[in-house]
Amino acid sequence: FYMISGGVAKYVEQLVMQSAFTNEKILDAVTQTGSYFIDEGRDVLSEEFGKEYSNYFSVMAAIASGKTTRGEITSHIGLESGGYLDKLEKEYNLVSRQRPYLQGENTRNVRYFINDNFLNFWFRFIYKYRSAIEIGNFGYVRDKISADYETYSGFILERYFRQVYKETGFYSTVSNYWNRSGKDEIDLIAVNQNEKQIVIAECKRNPQRIDIDILKEKSNAILNAHKKWDTQFIGLSLDDM
The contacts of residue 164 (CB under 8 Å, 6+ apart) are: none
Lowest mean pLDDT among 44-53, 78-87, 150-159: 44-53
Residues 185, 165: Cα–Cα separation, whole Å? 18
pLDDT at 8 over 90: yes
Average pLDDT value over all residues in the chain: 95
Mean pLDDT, residues 176-189 taken together: 90
pLDDT at 89 over 90: yes
pLDDT at 134 over 80: yes
pLDDT at 182 over 80: no
Mean pLDDT, residues 148-156 taken together: 95
User: Quick one: pLDDT at residue 46?
Assistant: 86
> H helices of 106-209, where?
117-121, 130-134, 138-167
